[in-house]
Chain A
Amino acid sequence: MDFLQRTLDGLLEAGPYALVGLGLTLGFGLLHRVNLAYGASAMLGAYAGSWLHVRLDWPVWAVLPCVVLATALAGLYVQWLCFPDTDRATGSVQRASSVVSGADSREVVALASSFAVWMQLEQLCVNLLPRHLNPFPDIASTHEWSLGPLGLRPDRLVMCIAAAGLVMWVARWIHTNRTGLALRAAADHPLAAHLSGLRVPQLQRWGFVLASGLSGVAACAVLALEGQVTPMFGMWMLMKGLAAAMIGGLGNLRGLLWSAALLGVAEAHAQALFGPLGRDAATWGLLLLALLLRSARKTSWAPAGGLHA
């Protein structure tokens, strides 16, 4: 029975993992770049929310949209600083020629810059609220439903269903909406997108802000259940998000749902068997396994380019 309870608890953890992986999956799918400042942007949004809650005593309904907005703005800042338009934004021949030749040596620079901005944003958060534990508006319920011998937290269930719903909605939107088509086209072949009349720099910027906004939603969902935010939150978001996104196939939205469920269940069982260290070991073990399988199959990330449902 313990096994079933742990499996159920693990499945309910899939909600937060799917949400934190969603922004990274979308960001990678649209820009083909890994944003290391992803967690730090969400952390800045969360700290802004905590500050509004603690210092100005704002209610939860006012704080949560501000968290999403602050995270999206932080994302815009990261995009402007680390992921400038990968094509002719300035109109200079030098920049444009790299599009024609396909040469792009800026990937490594972008990755390193996003690491530096991660540090910068984390420091900004700590300066904003220097305490280790900072209250966050709490909407968690202590109520528990009984399903025979099993216990079920309704707040976790709602979060899990909402997360799955949001991922599926994003997947559908990206594949049925005109702007979604343009975002995928710009990600798939920027030069062909330019020639088709798509405004690639604006689309890339919009996609990045969208991914950041979704990470703000993830931060709200996770922290509203926890009731507090610490300086470790950014690192947690990045690591769990990366693990969920990479195990799911980085750029694959349906794979993200499966990987979040797998991650949650594996962690719950590992924690019960080996303690908190076992939980982390399960995460990195699964990630390693996913990398090894990918390497053995010789498949690249985002196999046909773009973002996949």
Chain B
Amino acid sequence: MLEIRELACAYGKIEALRNVSLSAKAGEVTCLLGPNGAGKTTLMMTLAGILQPTHGSITFEGESLLGLSPAQIVDRGLALVPENRLVFPALSVRENLMAGAYRRKDRAAIASDIEHQLERFPRLRERIDQLAGTLSGGEQQMLALARALMSRPRLLLMDEPSVGLAPKVVAEIFGIVRQLHAEGTSIFLVEQNVHMALKVAQHFFLLQQGRVTFSGTPTELAEDDVIQRAYLAGAERKPEATEA
């Protein structure tokens, strides 16, 4: 579904991604792991068309995404739920959802999709006319996810949906990821919470210092010594700053 080949991206002279090659299959949850500064967000921003690569190719369902604007990429069926949510703080929850469907023209279907998202996220219904900036971190994450789904993406890109959230909210978010997967949505997930990712993903990649250093199934991931030490063992001991 998504094929990335020898992708390189730089901020001026600083290389953020070097020869990154990976893929995501239709109907699967593909997870990209990696420490801070590995280039995960750069990769997601490049997939969303915000950044332009210096080398390599990105194809989605056989069509190149290179040189396309973010709006054209949304039209092709990709939607990114960015790190730290990035909702529209001065717009209401309803307006955020409507902004997510801006590329669509089918008004009746948009209204129906808003209702569907409010069923999926009941807490958003309670806050439908509230400004998004006044929501809690967890509610903003739900809103960012619901807004991305409003464009009816064929591939949902999620950049660290668990960051800064309380464990209960993280469990709720991953429950929704499982639900979306069960409904047939393909998901490309960037995550540092390996324990949660193992419960939802069918394939893993590890990105370190701008390069892909591991590719495998959840079983292969769990058996990898380096990943065991760096992520699985450490994650249990490491306390996280959380926000409800």
A residues within 8 Å of B by Cβ?
88, 91-94, 96-97, 99-100, 178, 181-182, 184-185, 188-189, 191-199, 304-306
Contact = CB atoms under 8 A, between A and B. Distances in A.
B48 to A, nearest CB: 6
Interface string B71-96: 10011000110100011111100010
Interface of B: 9-12, 41, 45, 48-52, 54, 67, 69-71, 74-75, 79-80, 82, 86-91, 95, 98-100, 102-103, 131, 133, 147-148, 151
B71 A198 contact: yes
B36 to A, nearest CB: 15
A198 B50 contact: no
Contact of B102 (A100, A196, A305): A196
Contacts of A198: 71, 99, 102
A93 B86 contact: no
Given A94-B11, A199-B71, A100 B50 contact: yes
Nearest to B67: A91
Contacts of A97: 11-12, 51
Q: Which 6 A-B pairs have the closest CB atoms?
A: A197-B74, A306-B90, A197-B103, A304-B90, A194-B70, A305-B90
B137 to A, nearest CB: 16
Contacts of A304: 89-90, 131, 133
A92 B54 CA distance: 10
B90 A195 contact: no
Nearest to A308: B90
A196 B79 CA distance: 8
Contacts of B69: 88, 199
A192 B88 contact: yes
A305 B71 CA distance: 23
B91 A306 contact: yes
Given A189-B87, A194-B49, A196-B102, 13 more contacts: A88-B69, A88-B70, A91-B52, A93-B11, A178-B98, A192-B82, A193-B99, A194-B70, A195-B50, A196-B99, A197-B103, A198-B99, A304-B131
A184 B148 CA distance: 18
Report which residue of A178, A192, A198, A306 has the largest number of chain B beta carbons within 10 angstroms of its beta carbon: A192
A167 to B, nearest CB: 19
B45 A100 contact: yes
Given A88-B50, A185-B99, A195-B86, A93 B71 contact: no
Contacts of A185: 88, 91, 95, 99, 102
Contacts of B9: 93
Contacts of A188: 88-91
B228 to A, nearest CB: 32
Given A188-B88, A188-B90, A304-B89, A196 B74 contact: yes
Given A97-B11, A188-B88, A189-B86, A196 B151 contact: yes
A184 B131 CA distance: 13
A100 B79 CA distance: 17
A97 B11 CA distance: 7
A30 to B, nearest CB: 12
Contacts of B11: 93-94, 97
B134 to A, nearest CB: 9
Contacts of B102: 178, 181-182, 185, 196-198
